[in-house]
Amino acid sequence: MPDPSRRKFLTHVGKATPATMSGAGIISKLSAMLEKSIFIHHVYFWLKDPNSETDRSKLLEGLNLLSKVKTIRKFYIGKPANTNRSVIDRSYALSWLAFFDNPADQDSYQVDPIHLKFVEDYGHLWSKVVVYDSVDV
Amino acid sequence: MPDPSRRKFLTHVGKATPATMSGAGIISKLSAMLEKSIFIHHVYFWLKDPNSETDRSKLLEGLNLLSKVKTIRKFYIGKPANTNRSVIDRSYALSWLAFFDNPADQDSYQVDPIHLKFVEDYGHLWSKVVVYDSVDV
């Protein structure tokens, strides 16, 4: 999907780059600027049957398949830790934390066939999903 | 704080290490095994005054100070992304994502003087905090 803001950004960097800057210098500068737009997608899943070890394993299998989406830079599949204070929500079954290089990559992940198939094949397992999407301040 | 299970783990690795393995090899093997116990601490903050840009900046200042705790391996300070579906909670002001090498490191972070001072100096700013702690499945 075309992203006009990114095109503009790349054009701008191109124009601002001094002729004396090395290729490696440009790449390092670009990486640093792109790092600023990191996108963090954290999802918490509650199972319809919270006591089913089978359903939990199935969802875990699904998340491992989901991790194959190409725009995912890094991912972590978690379960609640043993910590237990009043502010901690440890009622979920599994958490899915995925890092993207930028918001556009997360947009494309949402409509990626692998993601659509994940929802189709495993969506019957969960009763609730809460998503927190965040970007650098 | 002594952690008997970790002591046992280190002893076990020591015994299992072939005499021919280099120091670097042992460190790399240990790192890989410890990576398995990664601890993810994700906190979402809601401000008492959600419209105050000043309070948001103050909390951001506090989180940057908090990031100096030595056991934090990596951290990200986030704000809600532009994504907006029914399952997404984008009502928080700031998010604080911290990675630790293991649960014990997060325990020590909780009582670290820098963390205690953060709560003392900036705690009046927020009305609600939700924490999700997770470990590798």
For residue range A82-126, list pLDDT tens digits in order: 999 999 999 999 999 999 999 999 999 999 999 999 999 999 999
pLDDT of B32 reads: 54
Whether B78 sits inside 8 A of A130 (CB atoms) is no
Same domain, B94 and B109: yes
DSSP states of A73-124? -EEEEEEE-S---TTB----SEEEEEEESSHHHHHHHHT-HHHHHHHHHHGG
**Confidence band of B4 (pLDDT split at 50, 70, 90):** very low
- Per-residue pLDDT of A36-68, as tens digits, reads 589 999 999 999 999 999 999 999 999 999 999
pTM score of the predicted model: 0.77
pLDDT of A71 reads: 97
In 3D space, the residue among A131, A114, A102, A83 whose CA is nearest the CA of residue A30 turns out to be: A102
Same domain, A13 and A56: no
**Whole-angstrom distance, CA of residue A34 vs CA of residue A102:** 7
| A68 conformational bin, left if phi > 0, alpha if psi -120 to 50, beta if neither | alpha
**Residue B25 bridge partners (DSSP):** none
Whether B92 sits inside 8 A of A60 (CB atoms) is no
Average pLDDT of B96-118? Answer: 98
Report CA-CA distances (Å) from B58 to A81, A108, B54, B118.
30, 34, 6, 11
- Per-residue pLDDT of A6-31, as tens digits, reads 443 333 333 344 455 667 667 665 66
pLDDT of B35 reads: 55
Query: What is the span of the domain harbouring residue A94?
Result: 38-135
Q: Which of A78, A85, A136 is facing B136, going by the closest CB pair?
A: A78
Same domain, B82 and B131: yes
Could you give the number of structural domains in chain A?
Answer: 2
Same domain, B29 and B83: no
Residues 87-116 of A with CB under 8 A from B: 87-90, 92, 94-95, 97, 103, 106
User: Which residues from B are below 8 Å from A37, CB to CB?
Assistant: none
In 3D space, the residue among A132, A128, A131, A115 whose CA is nearest the CA of residue A50 turns out to be: A128
CB contact at 8 A, A95 and A77: yes
Same domain, A110 and A87: yes
Same domain, A8 and A51: no
Same domain, B46 and B112: yes
Q: B111-121: string of b/e by CB count within 10 Å (b at 16+)?
A: ebeebeebeee
Same domain, B51 and B101: yes
**Residue A132 bridge partners (DSSP):** A42
Same domain, B73 and B16: no
Same domain, B96 and B61: yes
Same domain, B51 and B106: yes
**Whole-angstrom distance, CA of residue B47 vs CA of residue A106:** 27
Q: Which residue has the tokens 């649960």?
A: B103
Same domain, A65 and A92: yes
Residue A3 contacts B where some CB pair is shorter than 8 Å: no
Q: Return the CATH number at B68.
A: 3.30.70.100
